[in-house]
Amino acid sequence: MRALRQDIARRITTASRRRRDGRIPLTGRHWALLVGFALTAVLVAVGLGLPTPRQAPSVPAERVAQARAALGGLHVVAARLRPPVDYQRSAFGQAWTDHGGVGAAGNGCDTRNDILRRDLAVTKSVATTSCPAAVAAGRLRSPYSGREIAFARGAGSAQVQIDHVVPLAYAWDMGAWAWPAPRRMAFANDPANLLAVDGPSNQAKSDLEPGRWMPALRGFWCQYAIGFLTVSAAYRLAVDEASRRTLAAALGECPAE
């Protein structure tokens, strides 16, 4: 490799080896090496990394069976419903409240920090007004993209975001608009419906249902479908036909034990 780089440098600096049109003759091996150097330089310069492929982990057959049963029990509608009342985030209560009545509610930490501590490899904690042991630093392998993210509390903390597996706006359309306020608050803070993910994936998903969005990392489709169906069944939400087909197909890819 070193000899090949030196050969390239020699050809670039030796005028006698130039062709009549002034260009420097490089072999296929030279061009491949140059392209590789250039790509590496670009990735390092902009701080990007390619998603790391991971082998899809096995899933207990019992969980897959339960998810299939949940799918079979959901009320299916032709398309996403249009409720008589427009969606408002405030209808689900204060964001990340510690008083949602589910999970670790009442432990003195807001829901966001509860999920960060559950999903990240935490390396540093700090006391804040909303949590005596808030996550200050850690690492996350995003289940949606496979990207590894170094999380640091502060200006760049939005690199890691907390996603509602079943989006609040979708839940609203599919029945949550008629729920009492405490049920909506519980839904918004239920750990079963929350995942720490990379910011770009969360922004791309927005409030889209499975029929229009699934994680970029296909190896996570099985787990995503199980989570979506488990929550939808627990809260008795309807599902649109396109999403039902997508979720059924995702369950078909589950690498059961």
Q: What is the pLDDT of residues 206-242, one digit of tens each?
A: 999 999 999 999 999 999 999 999 999 999 999 999 9
Structure tokens at 235: 């809260």
As a whole-number percent, the residues of the chain with pLDDT over 90 amount to 76
Same-domain pairing of 138 and 175: yes
Domain count along the chain: 2
Q: Which residues form the domain of 236?
A: 61-251
Instruction: Tell me whether residue 224 is in a domain.
Output: yes
Element (H, E) at 172: helix 168-173
pLDDT tens digits along 180-216: 999 999 999 999 999 999 999 999 999 999 999 999 9
Is 107 part of a structural domain of the chain?
A: yes
- Is 65 found in the same domain as 37? no
Is 135 found in the same domain as 37? no
Q: In sequence order, which residues have a C-beta less than 8 Å from that of residue 208 and are 6 or more positions away? A: 167, 170
Would you call 162 helix, strand, or coil by DSSP? Answer: strand
Contact 246, 208 (CB under 8 A): no
Question: Are 31 and 215 contacting, i.e. CB atoms less than 8 angstroms apart?
Answer: no
d(CA 124, CA 153): 10
The region, left, alpha or beta by phi > 0 then psi within -120 to 50, assigned to residue 231 is alpha
